[in-house]
Amino acid sequence: MHTRQLLLCTDMDRTIIPNGTESEHPDARKRFKAFCLHPEVTLAYVTGRHKKLVQQAIKNYHLPRPDYAITDVGTKIYKIEGEEWEELTEWKQEISQSWNGYDHQQIKNLLNDIEDLILQERNKQNTHKLSYYLPLFIDSDTVIKKMSHLLKQQNIDASILWSIDELKNIGLLDVLPANATKLHAIEFLQQKLGFQHKETVFAGDSGNDLPVLISPVQSILVDNASDEIKTSAQQLAQQNGNEATLYISKPLICGMNANYSAGVLEGILHFTPQFHSLLAIEKASA
């Protein structure tokens, strides 16, 4: 008998959490949760949230408990069994090499003279994540170039990720080790758990998801994502030769809209139609 397995990696805010401006179908999260409970599915949340905010969101939004959580924009990975969250030390050791011996405080000191950067709250920082706010009227490309120049002068190999908090109407800038992006963390999990690209699906909605969305990893961009992100993802995926592994959700199969978790289910069926029967059972019993 043919066995099937799926590593489902999904962003949280405005991907499976309906905290954007678009409407959520009333059955979407219930059907998403039921799908994720199947033993064939290994669920990993991939989010900018830190551990406590992930746990809070799971409770508040009645989300399925994941098997793994990639948090703090890829800088931490936890294995979850019951109520136990065990941080993977091998991931911490791997990403620490990129910062060339510099710690969080030293990198912050290097960037202190760049105007307009506003340090985010303490609970949004960690050993390998330095996070700022940037007002939207400031040219983010110019600021990122200045940051990159200062870091390269010290041989610090960093990724600088730009995204927008639509609800607060402010830009977000995260400075991470170069190999601590969501993409590298997903690839690390794939290798650790033995999942191939064809057995892995990612879902996201925003700018800090782009490295995965335009990669060879099968990726879903939920329909409630902004037109700007959709256009950027399509263009960059095509440039990378990965347009076949990017799917922008449409309300085609599941009988719901394609926003949030409904869009995730649409994308799963697009990439892995062998799971259609599981969803059909859930639909009939919903």
pLDDT tens for 118-139 read 999 998 898 999 999 999 999 9
* 68-71/76-81 β-pairing: antiparallel
pLDDT of residue 280: 52
pLDDT of residue 283: 41
Distance CA 27, CA 257 (A): 10
pLDDT of residue 116: 93
pLDDT tens for 176-214 read 999 888 999 999 999 999 999 999 999 999 988 999 999
Collapsing DSSP to helix, strand or coil, 270 comes out as: helix
Distance CA 87, CA 264 (A): 27
> Is residue 48 within 8 Å of 126, Cβ to Cβ?
no
Distance CA 94, CA 97 (A): 6
Distance CA 272, CA 286 (A): 22
CATH architecture of 99-177: Alpha-Beta Complex (3.90)
> Is residue 50 within 8 Å of 126, Cβ to Cβ?
yes
Domain covering 6-92+180-285, topology: Rossmann fold (3.40.50)
Query: What is the band of 89 on the pLDDT scale with cuts at 50, 70, 90?
Result: very high
Distance CA 32, CA 267 (A): 12
**Where do you find CATH 3.40.50.1000 in the chain?**
6-92+180-285
C-alpha dist (Å) from residue 30 to 35, 63, 147, 205? 9, 8, 43, 20
